[in-house]
Chains A and B, each alone.
Chain A
Amino acid sequence: MLTPVTDSDGAPFWRYAARGELRVQACGACGEPRFPPRPCCPHCRSFASEWRLMSGQGRIWSWVVPHPPLLPDYAALAPYNVILVELAEAPRIRLVGNLVSAPGAALDSFPPDRIRIGARVRAVFTGDGLVQWVLERP
């Protein structure tokens, strides 16, 4: 499977995720959250930033089910879902992820015919550094 190749702006996201925290970058001056992380604030041009703790709650904005041809590791799990989650505290920040049946389960563990736009989900952490998502009310 592919693992994130980080840069200096993005690295904190993955460090927090590996500790079980969903944090997004926010401006240290005006407070505006931004994603993906970047050096300065597009609203006020401040270079100060903080990593704000999120509740991990969100809603499914959209989703897809990829089928082969795919990279071999992913083809082995296909068809699987990829969802886009808008965060409860910051709806314009939408994280790409996977809806799984339980923390640590495989990408193909949740039946695609049960996925709905607008469904409430919450982030779970598996220790390998990737955020996963489970249905808030399965």
Chain B
Amino acid sequence: MKYAYEDLSDEQFEQLIVFLCQRLLGISVQGFAKGPDGGRDAKFVGTAELHPSRTAPWSGTTIIQAKHTNGYNRNFSEPDFYSVKSMTSVLAKEIPRIKKLRLNKQLDHYMLFSNRRLAGNAESEIRYYISTQCNIKQESIYLCGLEQLENWLKTFPDVPRLADLDPVDSPLIVSPDDLSDIIQALARQKNTLPNIIDDPPIQRISYEEKNKINQMSVEYAKAQRKRYLKETPIIRTFLAAPENMDLLRMYESVVEEFQLKIITKRKDYQAFDEVLEYLVDLLFHRDPILRGHKRLTRIMLFYMYWSCDIGELGDAETD
């Protein structure tokens, strides 16, 4: 794969699709600002230049939707994206919006781009599904997966440059590999770890003060403390165990990566709640082991914050 699409932000991916569609349909493809989009990321009205072919191009209103994921190796037929029964899958949520646009005569053709793999069978099935649900002809629906996206970008090599896929602008992305090893080991040893009463000689600041410095909201901080503080001794004991030396090294490399990425990628206005929730989502999306131990992963992130391995300034005290 030429581009690490999963490392892009949603906005960057949308931008890429808009530029690509300007090549396929016409220069007047219109992208929209961030916010409620009513089921459209971009729109084109008129006769397409190239799509689906020069001899029989689409004519009318084409609605373009980009669905980006941070996950690796995802595909269109995963239940969180498409499932006939599910009411919460990405497509299930999209269908009413398409229907509405169709009813208001604001949609003749529909294009869906995603950085997921798209197999032939899934393509036919999903196309048929959208067609029957929204009353759009099958030939007016186009689904584009990862493989086809790669081909398009090879055909139009200037598109990624136009979309300004600058790695410096990419969102806060961290690697979950080491953390998943720690969580797996922790999950194995959790019940066998003895409780050790510890009184570490560290200068502490109050939790409230720490939250203020890090811009964490009062409600979020309270909820975090209520749920996860009682669990932190497990992690402390686990990391202090001499037999877990290698895991401690891994933990240290994880917090180093998290902390440095947070410092560089965090915008001034972002609350720490958002940063933590974003990290959690990212980790769950990317790693099946972390997804299998959601609570432990959250406890681990809280521990990192609590002991000031991530976030700013000294360790937070209990009250």
Q: Are A and B subunits of one complex?
A: no
> Which B residues form the contact surface with A (CB < 8 A)?
none
> Which A residues form the contact surface with B (CB < 8 A)?
none
